[in-house]
Homo-oligomer: A and B are copies of this chain.
């Protein structure tokens, strides 16, 4: 659920007076997104999203997110675009919170991604990376390798509550990744959270990439690694090589991965698995008893990490090294 703040109709109507979006017809709080309060608005001009940014999102980061969405949309990427006020601003204040009106994109996210979905998301990710190249702002990735040690420290002593031996696994993995994490791969703007619920489809076509709350500057291949974990495993945690091949080949047709990126990909995928494992573990250990929000399952990422630890090369992802397009 994600409506932390309710908004009165007259407050909202007054807020909307700053925009050319027509008259308010209805607004409904949306049970999606975990960091913000989101509403779907209908006005006489169409449908829009209203996002109220809650405390967990640093206010200083909002110009980056809003600027990035506008930049990508201006470069042909289908993503929600912040609507400008008559003043030209995209960030206002509503219910004492930073607030923005954002285009509503039609589309549904795939609960069970198909090979065609994986191929489409590979293409979309590469195009997003290319479109982000000349974006002027930057934002550090707080959840890259240097951010994992504090999460590990917060969860270490209780990690075995989730699974016997997990503490040992995490200790060794973090040590290994800190030592061997690559430093000189091509970098740029990454989405950093491109899970299936952040990609909208109409049929098998990507109609929109959404939720840039974790977007930042980091290695482009790290975004590829996050998607490999998020899109190419089945619900029983088995790795689907056909999906991985479709995803990587579609990415490679738009933006060729360098030899260095290809060689690093298995390691980056271990890091991507550890990153989501750690945040899920911390959330899991900190759920108040009786809470109605079910935390995401950390075990899923234990399984994915173990798989990635066994990957030797791109060949295990179904593609021949240096020859991405089969």
Contacts and interface: CB of A to CB of B under 8 A. Distances in A.
Nearest to A114: B10
A107 interface: yes
Contact of A8 (B24, B29, B47, B112): B112
Contact of A110 (B9, B26, B105, B290): B9
Contact of A289 (B24, B200, B288): B288
Contact of A9 (B12, B105, B111, B287): B111
Interface size class of A (residues with CB under 8 A): 35 or more
Interface in A257-285: none
Given A9-B109, A31-B2, A26 B292 contact: no
A6 B197 CA distance: 12
B111 A6 contact: yes
A230 interface: no
Contacts of A9: 108-111, 201
Contacts of A140: none
A200 B288 CA distance: 35
B30 A292 contact: no
A72 B107 CA distance: 33
B111 A8 contact: yes
A293 interface: yes
B290 A25 contact: no
A292 B28 contact: no
A108 B3 CA distance: 16
Contacts of A112: 8, 10
A35 to B, nearest CB: 15
Contacts of A24: 108
Contacts of A111: 6, 8-10
A1 B290 CA distance: 15
A252 to B, nearest CB: 28
Contact of A1 (B47, B107, B292): B292
Contacts of A32: 28-29
A51 to B, nearest CB: 13
Given A40-B40, A291-B292, A292-B293, A31 B1 contact: yes
Contacts of A287: 290
B26 A107 contact: yes
A25 B288 contact: no
Contact of A29 (B27, B30, B104): B30
B26 A106 contact: yes
Contact of A288 (B10, B47, B110, B290): B290
A202 interface: yes
Interface of A: 1-3, 6, 8-10, 12, 24-32, 40, 42, 47, 104-112, 200-202, 287-293
19 contacts: A1-B1, A1-B31, A2-B31, A3-B31, A8-B111, A9-B109, A9-B111, A10-B112, A25-B106, A26-B104, A26-B106, A28-B40, A40-B40, A42-B47, A42-B106, A287-B290, A288-B291, A290-B291, A291-B291
